[in-house]
Amino acid sequence: IRAFGAELVAEGDRSDAALRAKQDGESFFFSHVYHPAFRGGTMQSGLEVLQHPDSKEATRWIVPVGNGSLLLGLLAALRVHNRTDIEVIAVQASVCAGLLRPGQSSPSRATGIAIADPPRRNEMLRELEAQGGHIQEATEDELLAAEQRLAQIGILAEPASAACEVVVQRLADAGGKRPSVAWLTGSGDRV
């Protein structure tokens, strides 16, 4: 950004920065949340999984959810293939579960999904319900334990996607093992 002569001001968290940019008449804020190409890319991820031979038997998709770009793209892929048989579980950090408790938040290690007021909340809830999906939460302790379990098997996932491992483990402990796809993103703090 600086290489092109722009001034970069990075104070506070992303939500605060977005609000300031919106209120400042001399600047603007843009986000991947509304960009159709970004959503198309996340949809492509779902389309590729649907076509992969190893995932043909999967009847459950477990997805980390913050702003919802990944969730909405994956749900679009399921619609393209009319796959109403796949259960979709949207996973959020308990301390900042914007789908369940909009506006309520505390700091979370899973910053990628810690969105207190997701701008596409109503759309996500509507599309998730149409698919027959539901929402689960992961506590901070569960997130840390999931990160450690993944690291022990050589997967360095960002904390947001470790939320998926929380649900995978929870379902396995409850005897709910069945072919599933869990989205694990990142390799470090933010990728």
Six token digits for residue 189: 């703090």
**Contacting residues for 81 by C-beta, under 8 A, at least 6 apart:** 47, 50
**C-beta of residue 87 within 8 angstroms of C-beta of residue 61:** yes
In a domain? residue 5: no
The number of folded domains in the chain is 1
CA distance 49 to 181: 8
The domain of 135 spans 33-182
159-182 tens-digit pLDDT: 999 999 999 999 999 997 889 999
In a domain? residue 117: yes
Nearest Cα neighbor of 143 from 124, 132, 157, 153 is 157
CA distance 159 to 188: 8
29-84 tens-digit pLDDT: 667 787 878 888 899 999 999 999 888 899 999 999 999 999 999 999 999 999 99
For residue 114, the domain's CATH number is 3.40.50.1100
Residue 165: per-residue pLDDT:
97
The confidence band for 189, taking pLDDT boundaries of 50, 70 and 90, is very low
Note the pTM of the prediction, 2 decimals. Answer: 0.83
In a domain? residue 130: yes
CB atoms within 10 A of CB 29: 13
In a domain? residue 9: no
In a domain? residue 148: yes
